[in-house]
Amino acid sequence: MAFGQFQGSVRGRDQAMSEINMVPLIDIVLVLLVLFILAAPMAAQSVLVSLPKTQPLVTQEPAETLNISLRQDGVLLNEEGETLDEQALLDFLAQAMLSDEPPAIRIWSDEDARYAYLADVIVKIRQAGVTKISLMTRTTAQM
């Protein structure tokens, strides 16, 4: 910093005056301005990218969707609310697989149902040949 002095004196002593030297600040601003002027055209250049062309995938909804409910205690119910044991479930799935297009199965499970019950039902459905399985959850208030 540069220091200067007043021409006069205060109470007989000379007092130093401090002032900001603007020259280094102006130099830095000018250097930054030149850098931005040189860098701006480089940022505006574009790069050509060859992207693959694809067709949108159209998914088909299954012709038939069957709902199975799994209660918290592991009891299975069909769409009519009838209890399904293991054999009744297999018969229900075998009847559904007789159609031209295999159905989709929605398993509505209580939120408090044990995962072991759900996993067992999924295995049985997969063994029956059903490949489209949706897992749905509902709270006890929705029942």
Report all structural domains of the chain as residue ranges with CATH numbers, in order of start. 65-142 (3.30.420)
- Residue of 136 and 58 predicted with greater confidence: 136
The count of residues in the chain is 143
Amino acid at 110: D
User: How confident is the model over 116-143, as a mean pLDDT?
Assistant: 82
Output the DSSP codes for 33-73.
HHHHHHHHHHHT------PPP-PPPPPPPPS-EEEEEE-TT
- Paired with 67 in beta bridges are 106
Kindly report, residue by residue over 65-123, the tens digit of the pLDDT.
888 999 888 889 888 888 888 888 888 888 888 877 778 889 998 888 888 888 999 99
Confidence of residue 31 (pLDDT cuts 50, 70, 90): very high
At residue 19, the pLDDT reads 82
Whether the Cβ atoms of residue 106 and residue 68 lie closer than 8 Å to each other: yes
User: How confident is the model over 39-46, as a mean pLDDT?
Assistant: 80
Does the pLDDT at position 141 exceed 60? no
Where do runs of H (alpha helix) occur along 62-142? 86-96, 115-127
User: Rounded to two decimals, what is the model's pTM?
Assistant: 0.53
Q: Which residues contact 63 (CB under 8 A, 6 or more apart)?
A: 99, 100, 101, 103
